[in-house]
Amino acid sequence: MAHSKLSLADFNLRPTACRTEVLSAFQAVDYALSQYDIEQSLSAQFDRVTIYRTLKSFLTQGLIHKVLDDHGSTKYALCKELCHQGEHVHQHDHVHFKCQSCGQTICLETVIIPSIPLPSKFIKHESNLLIQGICEHCNSAT
């Protein structure tokens, strides 16, 4: 699909069965997945807690990043190479796009959130920008 074949070893993660299956789920799509989405596809194999711990490990190691949608729900997207640039550097200040037709949230990696000057003593940890509209697939289908 849209993602290169990253390996768990690239992120210092031991290849357990659950981690391998969750990574495959992300690599099979080009949009963000919720924990619920992953649970639905893997619930017969792994319990909810194991999937939660896997997602937490992926977040900690920089393999995925959080994507907030318009309802405040958390989804996760596979990071690209430009997102993970060495140890302790995890940059994903790009725009997210939620399609109002299909409901999928897509990372727009090439659209960077501009730098926003903050008042003195404020420290930015991350930026989130969600744009809503109709994705190219749904737009082509009409």
pLDDT, average across residues 73-84 = 74
CA 37 to chain centre: 13
pLDDT, average across residues 106-118 = 84
Per-chain mean pLDDT for the chain: 84
Helical ranges in 13-141 per DSSP H: 17-27, 35-42, 48-61, 136-141
pLDDT top residue among 36 and 127: 36
pLDDT, average across residues 62-68 = 87
- Indicate yes or no: pTM above 0.75: yes
pLDDT of 28 reads: 93
Write the DSSP assignment of 27-55 as a string of letters: HT-SS-EEHHHHHHHHTTTS-HHHHHHHH
Name all domains of the chain by residue range, CATH numbers in brackets.
Answer: 8-141 (1.10.10.10)
| pLDDT surpasses 90 at 21 | yes
Name the band, by pLDDT with cuts 50, 70 and 90, for residue 73: confident
